[in-house]
A and B are shown apart, each in its own frame.
Chain A
Amino acid sequence: MNKTEFYAKLSTPANDPASLALAAIQGDGEAGTYLRGVYDQFLAFSVEVTAFSRFDLEGTGQGEAYFATVIQVVGYEILEQLLDTFTSIINQTGGESTLVRNDLLRRRLFGNERLGPIARNIVKLWFTGNWYQLPRNWSEKFGPAPKDVTFTVSANAYVEGLLWTTIGAHPAGAKAQGYGSWANPPRIPEFGSDAVVR
């Protein structure tokens, strides 16, 4: 399926966005290669703005769902513009320090009127599993997006929110830590892909 078909299917309420995205990025031929490329860019951007590794992000199992969510709510074109801007900043700052890169990301991406709110929403998606309704002035300027309301992507997206890992806690009602574990002090993991049990 090419990106037009993918987008059309995403707009049909009966379809599951995450499965569609998975099928799209696993697709054959030119369309599949192209969509895989966009998804790779999406993950690379997500690594940059969440400070979690790609392994951690894929480890949530939510990548395809968030990718589909962004496209579903604001459309393909704007996501591609965001990712192209990101890639050009990365290419441009290849040998430079993080400070230089962060500065460019702040000014050209997060400071961009059209792309900034979307970039921030992608960060929020990973941390909370929620899409937050875009600011009103964004909608007024760039046109209303019919699906742009605050919603939780899925029950599992809530469970997999990175905020729980960040604070060394577990989501209430899920991922229980074991009978009696409350007697132990909380364990804040090292940042990044630390997976060693202590």
Chain B
Amino acid sequence: MDSHDIATLESLEEHLFSAMVLEHATLPAYLTALYSIKPGTNQDASNILRVVAVEEMLHMTIAANLLNAIGGTVNLTQTGFVPSYPTYLPDSIDDFQIHIEAFTPSALETFLKIERPVYLGTVQQRVVKRRIPNHVWCLSPNKDGTTQYTTIGEFYNAIKESFIRLEAEAQAKGSTIFTGDPAFQITSEYYYSGGGKLFPVTNLDSAVQAIDLVIEQGEGYVDEDKPTGVFDQYGEIAHFYRFEQLRLGRYYVRGDKPGFPTGPAIEIDWDAVYLTVVDPKLADYPEGSELYQAALNFNIAYAQFLALLTEAYNGKRELMMRAAVPAMFDFRNLMNRLIRNPAPQQHGRHAAATFEIDATNAILGTAKA
């Protein structure tokens, strides 16, 4: 194995935590775009954004299961879990940044880059080490921030290979890396998701299956061995191609080649969108205004939600259904209210949730090292 640096269990844990950071980091962007669409318009785009966001939440939970399976620690209240936007992803250095912004053509291009497929190249092309400028926020699985992956799929493939190798090494010594408490595994009884398919990760088979699910739902494969990368073996369409349908203005149907959808046409009304402040910060809203207070309240509620999720991932599984899922629906309402309010002195732009969670935790005194 030469394609990565995940040689130790500790490094694998770091990568899995990065996977959670990564899956989560897409949510503020997808949800802001989704809720910026004016109600009753752009049904196709809304549906696609909603499905993708729901599956990202599922992927984050799968990453938590993987991390818990090897006895790692899941802590979403950790400083840096929610990045400061704009942000890079592990695979995106000097390529693109993710913004919190309305549903616009440029936002759609960013989404396509986030979900771009695993193009099979040489190992050297796939995994690149670069020195990252200090001022840039970057989600990197390495503490020193030097390892970058070309696509998210590559990132997960490196994780998968590491699972296989580390478990083989452990087995050779008569042990296993799957030492985590099975009672920490979030399964379908504890989590309702349109994407479904939550199973416990307790051994190598289930770990590999879980990782493959994330890759297939996310980016799909463009691979000679798999004649169509648009739909997976279950007839589900990967995120990249879901978004590509919006770019190309047409739905994919089974049998279509990537880039050439032949299904029903999709119309997008780019004007039926609330244009929001790009990468908004609390400081963009007048201090003491209702808008400021509502944005702050959102951040507090979101910080509390991440603390709750952390508990749910650490043995209190029943909290998922009882508290975490309803909270997601509250965020929809809170984000909608912010987005419908014009932000004063922002050139006619509307407000949006700022997701400044580290700052909020610092205020609340809940930040954990």
Residues of chain A whose beta carbon lies under 8 Å from any beta carbon of chain B:
26, 53-56, 58-61, 154-156, 159, 175-181, 183-184, 193-197
The chain A residue with its CB closest to the CB of B334 is A195
* Cα of A54 to Cα of B351 in the assembled complex, Å: 14
In order of increasing CB-CB distance, the 6 nearest A-B pairs are A59-B337, A55-B290, A179-B192, A61-B340, A197-B301, A181-B326
A195 touches B40 (CB 8 A): no
A154 touches B305 (CB 8 A): no
* Cα of A154 to Cα of B289 in the assembled complex, Å: 30
* Cα of A195 to Cα of B332 in the assembled complex, Å: 12
Which B residues lie within 8 Å of A156 (CB)? Answer: 39-40
A-contacting residues, B316-364, CB 8 Å: 321-322, 325-334, 336-338, 340-342, 348
A-contacting residues, B257-298, CB 8 Å: 289-291, 293-294, 297-298
* Cα of A156 to Cα of B272 in the assembled complex, Å: 14
B300 at the interface (CB under 8 A from A): yes
The chain A residue with its CB closest to the CB of B293 is A193
A1 to chain B, nearest CB (A): 17
B304 touches A180 (CB 8 A): no
Residue among B304, B327, B328, B337 with max Cβ neighbours from chain A (10 Å): B337
- Pick the contact of B325 from A55, A180, A196, A197 — CB < 8 Å? A180
B337 touches A180 (CB 8 A): no
B341 touches A197 (CB 8 A): no
Residue among A56, A156, A180 with max Cβ neighbours from chain B (10 Å): A180
A180 touches B192 (CB 8 A): yes
A167 to chain B, nearest CB (A): 15
What are 29 A-B interface contacts by the 8 Å CB criterion? Answer: A53-B290, A55-B290, A55-B341, A56-B337, A59-B336, A59-B337, A59-B341, A60-B337, A154-B40, A156-B39, A159-B39, A178-B325, A178-B328, A179-B192, A179-B325, A180-B192, A180-B322, A180-B326, A181-B325, A181-B326, A183-B322, A184-B322, A184-B326, A193-B290, A193-B294, A195-B301, A195-B337, A197-B327, A197-B331
- Contacts A196-B297, A197-B305 given; does A55 touch B291 at CB 8 Å: yes
A61 touches B40 (CB 8 A): no
A33 to chain B, nearest CB (A): 14
**B interface, size bucket:** 20 to 34
A160 to chain B, nearest CB (A): 8
B190 to chain A, nearest CB (A): 10
A181 touches B329 (CB 8 A): yes
Which B residues lie within 8 Å of A179 (CB)? Answer: 192, 321, 325
The chain B residue with its CB closest to the CB of A183 is B322
The chain A residue with its CB closest to the CB of B297 is A195
B38 at the interface (CB under 8 A from A): yes
- Contacts A180-B321, A180-B325 given; does A196 touch B301 at CB 8 Å: yes
* Cα of A56 to Cα of B334 in the assembled complex, Å: 10
* Cα of A26 to Cα of B322 in the assembled complex, Å: 44
A58 touches B341 (CB 8 A): yes
DSSP class of B's interface residues: helix, strand, loop or mixed? helix
A60 touches B340 (CB 8 A): yes
Which B residues lie within 8 Å of A180 (CB)? Answer: 192, 321-322, 325-326
A178 touches B294 (CB 8 A): no
* Cα of A177 to Cα of B331 in the assembled complex, Å: 10
* Cα of A56 to Cα of B337 in the assembled complex, Å: 7
B336 touches A177 (CB 8 A): no
* Cα of A180 to Cα of B318 in the assembled complex, Å: 11
- Pick the contact of A55 from B305, B321, B332, B337 — CB < 8 Å? B337
A-contacting residues, B22-49, CB 8 Å: 38-40
Q: A179-B325, A195-B297 are in contact. List 18 more A-B contacts (CB 8 A).
A: A55-B290, A55-B291, A55-B337, A59-B337, A59-B340, A61-B340, A154-B40, A156-B39, A175-B333, A177-B329, A181-B325, A181-B326, A193-B293, A193-B294, A195-B301, A195-B334, A197-B331, A197-B334
A47 to chain B, nearest CB (A): 10
Which A residues lie within 8 Å of B192 (CB)? Answer: 179-180
The chain B residue with its CB closest to the CB of A160 is B39
B299 to chain A, nearest CB (A): 11
Which B residues lie within 8 Å of A55 (CB)? Answer: 289-291, 294, 337, 341
B97 to chain A, nearest CB (A): 29
- Contacts A177-B329, A180-B325 given; does A59 touch B39 at CB 8 Å: no
Bitwise interface map of B from 70 to 93 toward A, beta carbon under 8 Å scored 1, else 0: 000000000000000000000000
Which A residues lie within 8 Å of B336 (CB)? Answer: 59, 61
Which A residues lie within 8 Å of B304 (CB)? Answer: 197
B269 to chain A, nearest CB (A): 11
* Cα of A56 to Cα of B297 in the assembled complex, Å: 14
B329 touches A176 (CB 8 A): yes
B341 touches A178 (CB 8 A): no
* Cα of A66 to Cα of B325 in the assembled complex, Å: 33
* Cα of A60 to Cα of B38 in the assembled complex, Å: 11
A197 touches B338 (CB 8 A): no
* Cα of A55 to Cα of B298 in the assembled complex, Å: 14
B38 touches A61 (CB 8 A): yes
Which B residues lie within 8 Å of A193 (CB)? Answer: 290, 293-294
